[in-house]
Structure 1
Amino acid sequence: MNAPAPSGPAYIALALQSLCAAVNDCARPEEARERVMASIARMSREIAGSKAFIGDGVRLVVLPEYALTGFPMGETAAQWRAKAAFDPDGREYAALAELAVKHQVYLGGNAYETDPHFPDLYFQACFVLSPAGDTVLRYRRLISMYAPSPYDVLDAYLDAYGEDALFPVADTEIGRLAAIASEEILYPEIARCHAMKGAEVFIHPTSEAASPLATPKNIAKQARAIENIAYVVSANTGGMTGTPIPQNSADRGSKIVDPRGLVIAEAASGPSMCAYGEVDIALARRLRHRAGMPNLLARTPAALYAREYARAQLHPANSLLADGEVSVPGREFYKARQQRVIDTLAERGII
């Protein structure tokens, strides 16, 4: 007797390509916070307008990477924390939760945030807020070139939050959701670790180079969808103001990729609601239950890979943690750390 076909919800997801009004040029933290609140109000209007145009069925909205603040450009960790890092229980997240409630959507996004366990640091976090205003997903970016991550204080982070906090998956009424932060789309392991915990939809807040060419990140979005038989909802910034970088450098290409790697919607340049399309969770589940060569998730020999990774020991954990004390390095630390890894690769004959 054949098993019943897997079922699941179908709905519209919107990768909202919104302008990032960065706070780098704000002279005072209070000025930066007011700009953040103004951006939240603008995005509320954009969501309302988008829903009115698209019609019924919009249940997931994803905002771009650090869409409310931009990224640090010369600020020290203390300066950026004061200017742009949100308290998880503070007014910025409360205002975003109000958006999710007001528009009755699951709202995904990305922000820098503080942590009471690591008061001198900040982390870059992806989040999903439910239509009830609850935080159903919080994922801290694990791989970052010039910012602290949980991996840099891994032992202390695990003591505070446990293993499940590293690759969280939210089981919601619109499917099992996970997050990938921007450049992490280039690392297959990030998506795969989430998929092995059941993730069916990856939200991907990003802020990346605009190009009509097949960029590494755009290639990776399709690859991650195919490898994991999952949807990728990728929201890019629609330009960035408040920094010396030319405004449209991080722009265009917000998209939705289905579990077969097909791009079902994509936005052109500028603030846009054009990257919207149907997410059919039943499709992902049917493909995952189907035996055959395309089912790459079921064919993954994870234990085999784990052996080789365990032996590699390339990029060290806990590099900001010594004898239980957390250090707060300057920007130069991160590049020097990478150079040490490159030197190790060369010494081993790997490169």
Structure 2
Amino acid sequence: MNVAPYAAVAMQLTARSTERCADTAAARAQILSHIGEIEGAIRTAAIFIEQYAGRPVKLAVLPEYLFTSYPGRVGIAEFAERVGFAADGPEYAALGGVAQRLGLFLAGNAYESDRHFPGFYFQTSFIVAPSGSVVLRYRRLLSMFAPSPHDIWDAYLDHYGIDGVFPVARTEIGNLACVASEEILYPEIARAFAFRGAEVLCHSSSEIGSPLATAKDVAKRARAWESMAYVVSANTAGISGTVMPLASADGNSQVVGPDGKILAQSLSGETYTAFATLDIEALRATRRTPAMTNSLARQRPSLFAPVYTAANGQAGNAMLRDGEAQVPERGDFHRMQQAVIDTLAKAGAI
């Protein structure tokens, strides 16, 4: 099926922390209210973008943890209970209604609970189709302060398999995948999705905005070129409801083309100005043409497999005991990383 060119927009919106909510009921009510509020912003953006660019908006990407902000020092199980989206919960139903009424794909990021792993939460990037159904949920694999599917690897694979670890949604607007926050800094994540057919990487982030080239800015362009894929990266327009200065994570939302060139970029504040036309058929033609710039065709994964296999890094199943998932304490994440650093130092790698 041919894909007609369409517009994608990175919605730069203010994340709203739930830390000042009196209880779980208040936090849940605030989340649902916030989901309702974004519909008008996206609808208005889509109208102006189509008038300006002459292309309908078929994809809108929301920032990282837009509806809750980060957990801070709240315990894993407590945070999962307080704000974790259930797969069949009212939050996804509300997001599905937004996507359905607007007639577009809606990508975003939230903390998600899982009935298979009570007490855990996973930072999850999701894509909701115009039908209202969630067609992709990707759980963040590389995180400093949150559980990863890799921490309970064997049990996680039993439930979801490798397709649930690196999901790609094959849709009428192209093959979509999600990269969460800091994971844009790691080429392996984007490359894995590219090898599984991803053409558009939806990147939800909450990061420092700067007129200087930040690490994430550099990485977004690199991941686009390496993967021969579009990157639609939505940053927060600050985080409200915390003692942190509002604009600490604000600005630089952008759309990057498969050649690594920035097609559009926002400054600070709430805005829809990071939008661009995505031409999926042109991308597919480029991927199928022999050239020095065809990074996918020139890559040799088996060449590097032995080095990766032998490398010392964070081991899987760190939170499994006798096959059962054990909810970690906040301090465990620091101790796990320190153990890796010690191992790398002994091996002479650092």
Query: Into which bin does the TM-score normalised by the smaller protein fall?
Result: over 0.9
Greater shift in the superposed pair: 186-195 or 324-333: 324-333
Corresponding position of 2:201: 202
1:274 to partner: Cα distance = 0.4
Aligned to 1:3: none
- Which of 29, 37, 47 is equivalent to 2:32? 37
Q: Deviations over 1:251-305 (max 9, x none)?
A: 1011000000111111110110101110110121122112121111111110111
3-state secondary structure, aligned to 2:137: strand
Question: Aligned-residue CA RMSD in angstroms?
Answer: 1.1
Partner amino acid, structure 2, of 1:52: I
1:185-225: per-residue Cα shift (whole Å, max 9, x none)? 00100000010010000000011112111000010000000
Letter of the aligned partner of 2:99 in structure 1? A
Question: What is aligned with 1:285?
Answer: 284
**Contact 1:7–1:282 under 8 Å retained in 2:** yes
- 1:19 maps to 14
* Partner SS state of residue 296, structure 2: coil
Aligned to 2:263: 264
Q: Partner of 2:342 in structure 1?
A: 343
Find out whether 1:92 has 2:104 as its counterpart. no
The CA distance in 2 between the partners of 1:126 and 1:7, in whole Å, is 26
SS at match of 2:210: coil
For residue 346 of structure 1, report the CA deviation from its aligned partner: 0.5
**CA distance in structure 2 between the aligned counterparts of 1:204 and 1:275, rounded to whole angstroms:** 13
Corresponding position of 1:246: 245
Establish whether residue 175 from structure 1 lines up as the match of residue 170 from structure 2.
no
Letter in 2 for 1:44: E
For 1:76, the equivalent position in structure 2 comes to: 75
Q: Tell me, what secondary structure is at the counterpart of 1:273?
A: strand
The alignment status of 1:317 with 2:316, answered yes or no, reads yes
Structure-1 residue corresponding to 2:160: 161
Q: Which amino acid aligns with 1:8?
A: V
1:100-149 CA-partner distances (Å, limit 9, x unpaired):
00100000001101111101201111111110111111111111100001
Find 1:54's aligned residue among 33, 49, 58. 49
User: Aligned-pair distance for 1:9?
Assistant: 2.7
TM-score, normalised with respect to structure 2: 0.97
Q: What's the % identity of the aligned pairs?
A: 48
Q: Following the alignment from structure 1 to structure 2, what is the Cα–Cα distance between the partners of residues 113 and 286?
A: 37
TM-score scaled by length of structure 1: 0.97
State the alpha-carbon separation in 2 of the partners of residues 36 and 83 from structure 1. 11
Q: Which residue of 23, 34, 44 corresponds with 1:28?
A: 23
Contact 2:312 2:343 in 1 (8 A): no
How many equivalent residue pairs? 346
Counterparts of 2:241 and 2:90 in 1: how far apart (Å)? 22
Q: Is the 8 A contact 2:99 2:128 kept in 1?
A: yes
- Secondary structure (helix, strand or coil) at the match of 2:219 reads helix
Is 1:297 the counterpart of 2:292? The answer is no
Tell me what 1:64 maps to: 63
One-letter code of the match for 1:197?
R
**Following the alignment from structure 2 to structure 1, what is the Cα–Cα distance between the partners of residues 87 and 65?**
15
Q: Tell me how far 1:312 sits from its aligned partner.
A: 1.1
Q: Which runs of 5+ in 1 are unaligned?
A: 1-5
1:130 equivalenced with 2:129 (yes/no): yes
CA contact (8 A) 1:7 1:285 kept: no
Q: Which moved more, 1:11-20 or 1:286-295?
A: 286-295
2:64 and 2:204 in contact (8 A); partners too = yes
Post-superposition offset of 1:7: 5.4
Aligned to 2:12, the other structure's residue is in SS state: coil
Q: CA separation in 2, counterparts of 1:226 and 1:287?
A: 12
Match of 1:180, SS state, is: strand
Equivalent in the alignment of 2:119? 120
CA distance in 2, matches of 1:47, 1:27: 29
- After alignment, is 321-330 or 85-94 more displaced? 321-330
Residue 8 of structure 1 is matched in structure 2 by: 3
| Partner SS, residue 88 of structure 1 | coil
- Give 1:137's aligned amino acid: L
More off after superposition, 47-56 vs 195-204? 47-56
Cα distance in 2, alignment partners of residues 118 and 40 from structure 1: 26
SS at match of 1:124: strand
One-letter amino acid of the structure 1 residue matched with residue 257 of structure 2:
D
Per-residue deviation at 1:335? 0.6
